[in-house]
Amino acid sequence: MEKYERIRVVGRGAFGIVHLCLRKMDQKLVILKQIPVEQMTKDERLAAQNECQVLKLLHHPHVIEYYENFLEDKALMIAMEYAPGGTLAEFIHKRGNSLLDEETILHFFVQILLALHHVHAKQILHRDLKTQNILLDKHHMIVKIGDFGISKILSSKSKAYTVVGTPCYISPELCEGKPYNQKSDIWALGCVLYELCSLKRAFEAANLPALVLKIMSGTFAPVSDRYSLELRQLVLSLLNLDPSKRPQLNEIMAEAICVRPLLNLYTDVGSVRMRRPEKLLAAVPLVARGRAGRAAARARGSRAGSARPGIPPALSSIYTWGGGITTPLRLPLPNTEVVQVSTGRTQKAGVTRSGRLILWEPPPVGAAAGFLLPGATEQLPSQFVCRFLEGQSGVTIKHVACGDLFTACLTDRGIVLTFGSGSSGCLGHKTFVDVSQPKIVEALLGYEITQVACGASHVLAVSNEGEVFAWGRGDNGRLGLGTQESHNAPQQVPVPPDHEAQKVLCGIDSSMILTTKNRVLACGSNRYNKLGLDRISPREKPLTADQVEEAPVFSCARSAPLCEETIVWADIGTAHSAAVTASGQCYTIGSNQHGQLGPIPCRASRAPYLVEGLQAMRVIMAGCGDAFTMVVGADGEVCTWGKSARGRLGRKEEETQSPRPVQLEESHPYLVTSVSCCHGNSLLAAKPAVEEPSPQ
């Protein structure tokens, strides 16, 4: 709402609230339709999503113009053109019994006719055309149709079946429950024309059964004979009980009575308004590394060790390592609890207990080294600054996932928002345009999404009903759609029968689903059998015929014991994966080129490996990077192994295949609440294991 200033409420209804606002950029009056999607049912969300989709397709002088949509105060806000002259229904009501002259009627009618022709040309049914949804300019000369909340986008020659719309304007075929197409809108157009001629509705009754009976019989009071025979015949043709006998819109335009009013309209009718391209998001600069950062980490370590007794620990501590940071670096953080974190190649993000999205970024060029974030418990290191996401007022975030140069987040009501680089279509907005602020993925508004995952260039999401959606790059079959095609909008993914998705995971070139029955499904590149799709057990040599190099659709893991154990956690790296069982054991599978599978001599085995050296630990989480693995124990222990270059293992030592502990700065018992690994980086959130009493 930073771009708008509310002036007053101009309408309320079951859908929500309509605000008149001033757009600060150009001082233009606009309408903001506030739709509380977070409290809506699935069908109501679909209607809100549909309105955005329809409005985006329509660009016509006699259709209310759509500007944008965004999430604010737990509601979908749709910004659209303001028509200061009110509705046609209000205009008619104010006439009382003073009939309009025929020239005015036809002037209004042909504008509605042109608008409806544009709508139908886009294969859209309005389905609620009525005088209340037709708006006027301040001079009562220009007509625009609006309110596409229950419109339907049709495939070619398809028909809609749902009975929707205002009862007084519904067609006879709807009353009979028959399928209908554009001819139903033409019936409503006839009702509007009749209302312009008679200043009252064609069909009205005390109750719905009586109204349906009137509509089915086609009985209505005749139009006044003060109007021409051609106009009265036009009304009758539009209100013909037989849909096949109602004229097409182009036939109506060719009627002699409509030609002159059409020619009297502005000569730019039908022109398309060009839209400004969205500003591209600049690439995030690389984080500076060096001796200064490592010295700062050591200094903070000494400070942590000498913390004064009686001072309660911070609610959360966030650590990162890798990419040149050789030991865990504590990131700046206000005194708030972070419940979940995610890292991509270039960005780091977290979600607080209160539902705010927090980001760690390189500091602005020339920023003072001693700058303090309000509420921070210590001085910031030079590598990162911390900020809350702007424009999040009233929105509660519960989950975040980072890809390469883009981020996806999920609200507590199941709405997905994305921002960052639009390359590969990873934002899901049906474009490849970069977006600097979180924007709703409109195609998912009709679903309550429970979790979202990002790979380097693709995204998966799962709903509360187990539906899976994917978008982004499609090579290697990583989207699970059976093809190599990429998509810039969510596509529903087929899931094998008898399996219901509970959690989704994304790797560089592959994807996984953990089901409600704790089974593993996977698709994409199975290089080195990193997805466990080969039919093999640890003590058997796999047959060539049983190897799967690539799976275009989600398939069940076939490598024992992954196909037999209860899997509660998994993660996919560049060339290997890790899975955690309900009993707390950790299995790794895939390439062991850098020892990332653990202490086994073989580097080419395609069989799952039970990691040795973790017997004393009950593993609850695991993370996989490009050439290393991290696990977290139930008591807060953190261990890593694999390639150590550029600090991947979080300690100053050489490459190791054996799990070794990572020492955090915490001087009190702690629990790890969330971990994330990407490429050569790790991000970890920890909190105190017990509540310490406040000092007396």
d(CA 79, CA 65): 9
SS3 string, 622-635, reads: EEECCCEEEEEECC
Q: Exposed/middle/buried for 555, CB within 10 Å: 0-12, 13-18, 19+?
A: middle
d(CA 240, CA 226): 22
Q: What angle do CA 507, 511, 512 make, to 5 degrees?
A: 115
Q: What is the DSSP string of 2-27?
A: TTEEEEEEEEEETTEEEEEEEETTTT
d(CA 222, CA 204): 14
SS3 string, 136-157, reads: ECCCCCCEEECCCCCCEECCCC
The answer to whether residue 128 is catalytic is: yes
Strand order in the sheet with 406-411: 397-402, 406-411, 416-420, 435-440
d(CA 291, CA 533): 44
d(CA 503, CA 122): 37
Strand order in the sheet with 338-343: 338-343, 348-352, 357-361, 385-388
Instruction: Report, in this order, helix, strand and coil percent for the chain, each rounded to 5.
Output: 20, 30, 50
d(CA 180, CA 160): 6
Angstrom CA distances, 172 to 161, 175, 421, stand at 13, 5, 50
Q: What is the DSSP string of 178-228?
A: --B-HHHHHHHHHHHHHHHHHSS-SS--SSHHHHHHHHHHT--PPPPTTS-
Place of tokens 């390639």: 643
d(CA 574, CA 363): 29
Is residue 567 within 8 Å of residue 580, measured between CB atoms? yes
Is residue 614 within 8 Å of residue 639, measured between CB atoms? yes
Pairing of strands 66-72, 75-81: antiparallel
Closest to 335 (Cα-Cα) out of 378, 300, 296, 298: 378
Q: Which of 26, 73, 101, 128 is catalytic?
A: 128
d(CA 229, CA 248): 20
d(CA 569, CA 304): 32
Closest to 151 (Cα-Cα) out of 36, 292, 52: 52
d(CA 624, CA 252): 65
SS3 string, 346-399, reads: CCEEEEECCCCEEEEECCCCCCCCCCCCCCECCCCCCCCEEEECCCCCCCCEEE
For the CA atoms of the chain, what is the radius of gyration?
31
Q: Which residues are known to be catalytic? A: 128
